[in-house]
Amino acid sequence: MSHKQGLRFELAPTDEQAGLMGRHCGLSRVVENFCLETVQKKKAQHEAEKTYGITGDQLTKVPWSAPSLEKEWRAAHPERYPWFSEGKLSSRVPKEACRVRAAGIKNYFESKNGKRKGTKLGWPKWRKRKCGSRFRYDADRAKPLDSRTVRLPAIGNVATREDMSWLTGRMENGSARILGGTVREQAGRWWISFQIEVDRDDVNKRHRVDADAPACGIDLGLKTFAVVKNSDGTVEEIQAPKPLKAAQRALRRANRKLARSAEDSKNRAKARKRVGKLHLRVADRRRDFLHKTTTRLTRTKSAIAVETLHVKGMVKNHRLALAISDAGFGEFVRQLDYKADWYGATVWKADRWFPSSKTCSDCGRVNHALVLADRTWVCPGCGVVHDRDHNAAGNLLDAMLQAL
């Protein structure tokens, strides 16, 4: 059975190759902004013509789709952006930039009309340099040549700092194919992310969860990242590294130095790079912790009960926003979902309003007087003393066992 999956590898480009990749990042940004500008101008013209009484085919057509945006780009770039043809840049990058912009506009309208689930999306925004450097190739234009080399059109053969044997071996036997590749820069380092379709049944069977593995309920929190209560009666507490909190002092000093440096100076460039490295380290530590934790849980638990948290609403509490964002609750649940599908586990999500913390696990009475500061509480009905997190994990487990 084939799965769609992403794999990221760090690149080791030469100075010349890094310069070319930087130019392609700029090209992608220019094309995306050109597409947005074209849509907005033609949309405004279209609406204005309606007020003049113009109808039918005489109205200005708005280029909503990727092919129509690409057609607009091909017509405009010889005059507006002559450096594109002169610079020997890849023609695949503008093509993908048009697709990205068209997809963003489509997602906006589907979200507005209720056809797209999840958070309401806004109108696409202008891309700025500070928003990140990236560009994308379609299909397998960018692909591994061997376990340590990647071929990038218009850039050349770029070495990687990581071994790609897992991917190249599957490409050779036909069990994996590349759907696209995105090159990204952060803090002076470069990565390529391959979007692949792969048959990973061999890996999934090798790590498939045992049939007699225990089920568990997981209560997520800030003091203790996760309290895991198993169906065999054991309880485990998982502590998060809190990488952002650990880096706050260094980030304050680095940002202070950046703010005090002169505009467009070498010291400012060094200070900006230092801030970028600190943020990259924070993201890497959080990503490593979440992947290791979710992989272990989905390989050792037959069923997992979790809360449905409204993270976007939770971060509106400004006293807790930093800690909530640092924990990565949403990413934790997202990874549990797809990894459980890989390894044969089940993820059950409680209703958002399920009172897991307020319900007594002994008598079932709901303590409506419980507040966030109460870490332990006594049930007014039966008098049992509860640890808030352990009680919530047990209630989640019981609710899942009753529902499944």
Q: Which of 219, 264, 337, 341 is catalytic?
A: 219
Q: What is the pLDDT of residue 26?
A: 94
> Which DSSP category does 81 fall into?
-
pLDDT computed for residue 387 by the predictor? 87
Helices (H), 52-133: 66-80, 83-86, 92-112
Closest CA to 13 of 266, 193, 185: 185
389 counts as catalytic: yes
Task: Return d(Cα 19, Cα 25) in angstroms, integer.
Answer: 10
pTM: 0.88
| Residue of 307, 337, 341, 374 marked catalytic | 307
pLDDT at position 54: 81
For residue 43, the surrounding DSSP H or E stretch is: helix 15-51
pLDDT of residue 117: 85
How big is the chain by its Cα radius of gyration, in Å? 26
Closest CA to 181 of 200, 199, 204, 160: 160
User: CA–CA separation, 21 vs 132, rounded Å?
Assistant: 13
Told to judge if 138 belongs to the known catalytic residues of this protein, a careful annotator would answer no
Which of the residues 32, 72, 326, 389 is marked catalytic? Answer: 389
What is the per-residue burial (b if ≥16 Cβ within 10 Å, else e) of 59-71? ebebbeebebbbe
Examine the residue annotation and report whether 219 is marked as an active-site residue of this protein.
Answer: yes
Strand (E) positions, 187-329? Answer: 189-199, 216-220, 226-230, 235-238, 303-306
pLDDT tens for the 404 residues of the chain, in order: 788 999 999 999 999 999 999 999 999 999 999 999 999 999 999 889 888 888 888 888 999 999 999 999 999 999 999 999 887 899 999 999 999 999 999 999 999 998 888 788 999 999 988 777 999 999 889 999 999 999 999 999 999 999 999 999 999 999 999 999 999 999 889 999 999 999 988 899 999 999 899 999 999 999 999 999 999 989 999 999 999 999 999 999 999 999 999 998 999 989 999 999 999 999 999 999 999 999 999 999 999 999 998 888 888 888 899 999 999 999 999 999 999 999 999 999 999 889 998 889 888 888 888 888 888 888 887 888 888 899 999 999 999 999 87
* Angstrom distance (rounded) from CA 331 to CA 344: 20
